[in-house]
Structure formats: C-alpha cells, structure tokens
Amino acid sequence: MPSLPDMTTPDVVALAERAAASQPHDPHLEDVDLRPAFFDWLCRMGDNTLILGHRISEWCGHGPVLEEDIALANTALDLIGHTQMWLGLAAEVEGEGRTADDLAFLRDAMRFRNLQLLELPNRDMAVTLMREFLFDAWHFEMLTALCGSQSPRVAEIAAKALKEVSYHLERSSDLIVRLGDGSEESHRRMQDALDRLWPYLGEMFVEDAVDKAVAEAGIAPRPADLRGAWEQTVNEVLEEATLASPDTRMDVHQGGKQGRHTEHLGYILAEMQFLQRAYPGASW
C-alpha cells in the first residue's frame, strides 16, 4: 500500500485554505416559495435519524454481548450526529429562530415526519437488526443520491453522513447473513422480523407533494428512483441469509412522513422530551 506524503503544518494550512475557499453559497435557502417543502423534507431526514437513533440507543447497557452493545451505541451516536446536521439546517431554512434542539425536544408527535418503520419497538435483536438493515440499505442509496444534490448544504451533510452509513450497512448486512443463515432459532426469528416489518417498507418509496417539490428543485431524488438499487441490495443479502421476501404488499402502513404515526411514537417522545418539557431551557 503506497504511503501518503507526510503532511507538515504548512500543507495542512494550504489544505485548510482550500477548504475555506470552497464554502458553498446555497440559493435554495433564500427561496421563499420552496421554504415549507424544504423545511418539511429536512425534518423527514432529521426525524428518521433521530427516532431510529433513539430506538437503537435503548439497547445501550442491554446488548447481548459487549461488542454488540458498543456497536449499537456507536450507530445511535452517528444517527444523532446526523440529526443535529439535518435539523440544524431545517431550523436555518425555517428562519424562525428555532434550533435543532427546539425541533427535537419541543415538537409534538403530529409534527414529526419520520417513517413509521423507525418508531416501532425494538422487540428482540432480530427486529432491531432487520429494521436497521432495511433502513440502512435505503439510507445508503438516499445519501449517495444526495451527494449530487444541487443544494450544496444538503450535499455536504450527505457526504459526511454517507461515510458513517456505509459502515452501518456493512455491519447490518453482515449480521443479517450470520443470523439468517445461523441456527434454526436465529433463522426463524430473522424471518419473523422481516415478515413483521415488510408492510411498513413501502413508505420509503411513496412520493407526495413535499418530495415532488424538493425533487423539482434538484435537492433530492424522487423516492421511487431509489427502489431499484435498494431492492438489489436487500435481495442479495436476504438470499445469502437464506431468508425469503414475503410476497405481500409493502405499502400497507404509511403516513409518518405526513405526521400520522403509530401509538409508539408518543411513548418515545415522552421519554426523550421529558427534561426539556419539565424544565424549559435547561442547560448544563
């Protein structure tokens, strides 16, 4: 493996100067007509990572083995990091003086825009990992597409997040194969998890007026355009894992993107938002 040239301090300065010079100006942030859809779409991105990150963090201290516990906590941390970036940009686009924290801690369930898939309870490790894998495969394609967004602010967040999500997908697909093609019980649990989550998956590819507006502005891909690559990844991994895709519909449960949620989201928010609700403005 060839080594990189040694980077002395002046080289770092030069690199940093180039980085500073490439700071993007984003005209989409000043487009008043686009604002409501752009804001809503950014909340979808940020709420997806916030709610899944929160769900995964529930395993912290409860993982079946130390390595899995640490891996899940690290994944949750990455997702919360993405949330800060997406909701931070959402707050900036909205221009009402709110912050990422305000959006995370002071909105009610009906204002959340995450996929219903992500708020479902963890149940067991099979459901936790299967859900993460099915989302990771979508997240990977979405962020890959967003790296080419005409909004430089969106593209830079996507480029940052994609590096971490590549790692998530690598790990979750590996575990799907190991557990699907594992013991009789692990196989049964993974198949049950897939069957249980299947009716929630269609929501990832359904387009509404918000998706259409941001797609037309060149900010994001059309949801349906991600489906082919997502199916290819999912089918490859499921086949290797000796698991069968159900032949039932994927688009049974939907509405999270428009703020219609399952009863589970309220419980997440009750726990997540308690402190900021009980002690408004608390800091440490």
Partner 1 sequence: MAETLPSVEQVWVWLGDVPDPEIPVVSVTELGIVRDVRWDDDTLVVAVTPTYSGCPATAVIDLAIEARLREQGITRLRIERRLSPPWTTDWITKGAREKLRAYGIAPPVDGTASDGRTAARAARMTGRTNLVIACPRCGSSHTERISQFGSTPCKASYRCTDCLEPFDYFKCH
Which residues of this protein are in contact with partner 1, per CB under 8 A?
Answer: 1-9, 12-13, 15-17, 19-20, 22-24, 67-68, 70-71, 74-75, 77-82, 84-85, 140, 152, 155-157, 159-161, 163-164, 166-167, 169-171, 173-174, 177, 240
Q: State in angstroms the smallest separation of the CB of 94 from partner 1.
A: 19
Query: How far is 118 from 103, CA to CA, in rounded Å?
Result: 18
- Encoded tokens for 226: 């991600």
Give the shortest CB-231-to-partner 1 separation in angstroms: 15
Q: Which is nearer to partner 1, 22 or 183 (CB)?
A: 22
Q: How far is C-alpha 220 from the geometric centre of its chain's CA atoms? A: 15
Q: How far apart are alpha carbons 118 and 86 in whole angstroms? A: 17
CB of 67 to partner 1, least distance (A): 4
List C-alpha distances in Å: 262 to 111, 200, 210: 13, 11, 21
Minimum distance, C-beta of residue 262 to partner 1, in the bound complex (Å): 26
Task: Indicate the DSSP class of residue 245.
Answer: -
**CA distance to 58, 62, 63, 107, 172, per residue, from 73 (Å):** 9, 10, 9, 25, 14
Residue (77 or 206) nearer to partner 1, CB? 77
Q: Is the CB of 3 or the CB of 248 nearer to partner 1?
A: 3
Q: For partner 1, which is the closer residue by CB, 82 or 253? A: 82
128 neighbors 143 (Cβ within 8 angstroms): no
Query: Smallest gap, in angstroms, from Cβ of residue 14 to partner 1?
Result: 11
In the complex with partner 1, the residue whose CB is nearer, 171 or 189, is 171
Distance CA 9, CA 69 (A): 38
